[in-house]
Amino acid sequence: MTTLPDFRLETYFSRWEFAARYHLTASDAQSMRVDELLALAEPADREAFQSLHLGYTQTYGAPALREAIAGTYDTRGADDVLCFAGAEEGIYIAMRVLLGADDHAIVVTPNYQSAETVPLSICEVTGVPLDPDDRWSLDIERVAAAIRPKTRVISINFPHNPTGKMLERDRYDALVALCRRHGIWLFSDEVYRPLGPPGTEHLPQAADVYERGISLGVMSKAYGLPGLRIGWIACADRALLQKMERYKHYLSICNSGPSEQLALIALKARDTILEKNRRIVGDNLTLLDAFFAEWPEHFDWYRPDGGCVAFPRYLGAGTVEAFAADLVEQAGVLLLPAEHYRSELAPTPIDRFRIGFGRADCAVAVAALGDYLRR
């Protein structure tokens, strides 16, 4: 058990996210302005936004929003959805509710830091690494070997931050079967779903295929709307949802009403927004394929399976930290070096960096990176 350490990635972003000229490590898709989103709305929803009463809202989330979120699942209804202030609040509350001091959790490494530090602040945690030498594969036998009598949660995240790995379908099914056999909760961070280049095949959502599957979703990534701070958990277990709702009374209490209405509008325009963002991601990936082909002595490129981030290897002179620091100072291009993905649970590669390709200005940022390398 440990206290919560600084969130390294967020600390780095506090310094650089709004200071760097080119954010080439963003983990969200292209965002939009309020008027652009409202232009996609049905007239009644636009009117509802403009005449919204700014009182408290329901802790579970607005009924129409929960209904729209449930519509993104095959088998879940509005009552199986609890909204949060972003995905981050969902991670925190879920772990606090699911785990006690005597429990044990299993977490994939590397990871979005709170995936391991929140459980580590509660109980014992085992890390199971993705294999960087085998296309970031997850060995389900290794997960099985880590299970203890007290294991209560297995936590995964596919498409994965930072590698862009998508677990293969047969391994996913084996993982679900393993959890079911042991009665373990499968906490599945699905925030990068359904993003990827056009035609990406996504895994089923955990809440659709497993009675103890907990699906974490959000408006931040695929929809490009992180400023709304609307996330959710979908789960078939309503008693668990209610415990999480009680915990939420100690944190955000309820979501922002304007954000709920804007999220509803975005979900109703889901096909339009996702098609646009998938096209941007597809075009940017083509661009990155060409860029990395041009610099084989400097980088080793692993083309991600989904999402909008990747984790290439830095092969150039010096450390990747020194490279990233000089790059942002000299050329204003922000990358995220691997040290921010260091894990307390398992060794993680130290020669990588996260690159983001969800945004429309990716080409300009990559051009600035190319100019820097040529200099």
Measured CA to CA, the distance from residue 260 to residue 225 in angstroms comes to 12
CB of 226 to ligand PLP, least distance (A): 5
CB of 1 to ligand PLP, least distance (A): 22
Find where tokens 């100072």 sit. Answer: 329
Rank residues 331 and 354 by Cβ distance to ligand PLP and give the closer one.
Answer: 354
Number of neighbouring beta carbons within 10 Å of residue 186: 23
Report the nearest approach of ligand PLP to the CB of residue 189 (Å): 5
Question: Would you tell me which residues interact with ligand PLP (CB under 6 A)?
Answer: 27, 86-88, 112, 157, 161, 189, 191, 218, 220, 226, 231
Beta carbon of residue 229, minimum distance to ligand PLP (angstroms, whole number): 7
Query: In this complex, which beta carbon is closest to ligand PLP, that of residue 80 or of residue 88?
Result: 88
**Amino acid at site 4:** L
For ligand PLP, the closer of residues 308 and 331 by Cβ is: 308
Q: Which is nearer to ligand PLP, 189 or 245 (CB)?
A: 189
The helix-helix angle for 362-374 and 270-294 (nearest 10°) equals 10
Contact yes or no for 1/344 (Cβ under 8 A):
no
Diameter of the chain by CA atoms? 60
Asked if 314 and 352 touch (Cβ cutoff 8 Å), the reply is: yes
CB of 217 to ligand PLP, least distance (A): 9
Q: What's the number of CA atoms in the CB half-sphere (13 Å) around residue 170?
A: 3
Q: How far is the CB of 84 from ligand PLP (least distance, A)?
A: 8
Q: Residue 161 Cβ, how far from ligand PLP at the closest point, in Å?
A: 4
- Residue 57 vs 163, nearer CB to ligand PLP: 163
Please state the φ and ψ torsions of residue 109, each to the nearest 5 degrees: -120, 155
Report in angstroms how near the CB of residue 152 gets to ligand PLP at its nearest. Answer: 20
Q: Which residue is nearest to ligand PLP (CB)?
A: 86
Structure tokens at 180: 């079911």
Report the residue count for the chain. 375
Q: Which is nearer to ligand PLP, 62 or 368 (CB)?
A: 62
Least distance to ligand PLP, CB of residue 51, Å: 28
- Whichever of 88 and 291 has its CB closer to ligand PLP, that residue is 88
Please, are residues 231 and 215 in contact by the beta-carbon 8 Å criterion? no
CB 355 within 8 A of CB 334: no
CB atoms within 10 A of CB 322: 13
Residue partners of 13: CB distance under 8 A and separation at least 6 = none
Among residues 163 and 368, whose Cβ is nearest to ligand PLP?
163
CA nearest to 114, candidates 5, 230, 29: 5
In DSSP notation, 269-309 reads THHHHHHHHHHHHHHHHHHHHHHHHH-TTTEE----SSSSE
Nearer CB in complex with ligand PLP: 231/358: 231
* Phi, psi (deg, nearest 5) at residue 194: -105, 50
